[in-house]
């Protein structure tokens, strides 16, 4: 894959539909992190969360996603308390309880 193909692939993944969420869960990493985060949105390819502590950009972490289970991700950015993560493998929003709860409320 050429760099431009990779850039287009990454851009396409960033355009995945984001679903607003307001729920707490655990973000963990072997011997580095075990923190509570507040999920603000989720898509098939990643999440936006808030947490009090600094999480290393580029860190590989696991996020407990209700209905899906433990999902591996990479922290892509953090600005103040907000951080963005990319799932290493896309998830199904049909199985995600955060999305199901939101759909029932609508």
pLDDT in tens, 34-43: 999 999 999 9
Task: Give 23: exposed, middle or buried? Use CB within 10 Å, 0-12, 13-18, 19+.
Answer: middle
- Given this model, what pLDDT does residue 102 score? 60
3-class secondary structure, 14: helix
Could you state, in order of their start, the residue ranges of all structural domains in the chain? 3-105
Q: Residue 106: what pLDDT? A: 59
Which CATH architecture describes the domain 3-105?
Answer: Beta Barrel (2.40)
| Inter-CA distances, 102 with 28, 37, 51, 98, 105, Å | 25, 19, 22, 6, 5
Distance CA 101, CA 78 (A): 27
**pLDDT at 104 (0 to 100):** 60
Whole-model pTM: value is 0.81
Structure letter (DSSP) for residue 88:
S
For residue 86, what are the β-bridge partners? 46, 74
Identify the segments of the chain with pLDDT beneath 70: 1-14, 101-106
pLDDT at 7: 46
Q: So what's the pLDDT on residue 88? A: 98
């Amino acid at each position: 894959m050429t760099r431009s193909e990779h850039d287009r692939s990454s851009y396409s993944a960033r355009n995945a539909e984001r679903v607003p969420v307001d729920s707490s869960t655990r973000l963990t990493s072997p011997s580095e992190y075990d923190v509570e985060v507040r999920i603000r949105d989720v898509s098939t390819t990643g999440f936006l969360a808030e947490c009090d502590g600094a999480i290393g950009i580029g860190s590989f972490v696991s996020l407990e996603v209700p209905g899906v289970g433990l999902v591996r991700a990479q922290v892509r950015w953090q600005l103040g308390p907000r951080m963005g993560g990319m799932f290493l493998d896309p998830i199904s929003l049909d199985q995600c309880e955060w999305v199901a709860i939101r759909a029932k409320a609508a």
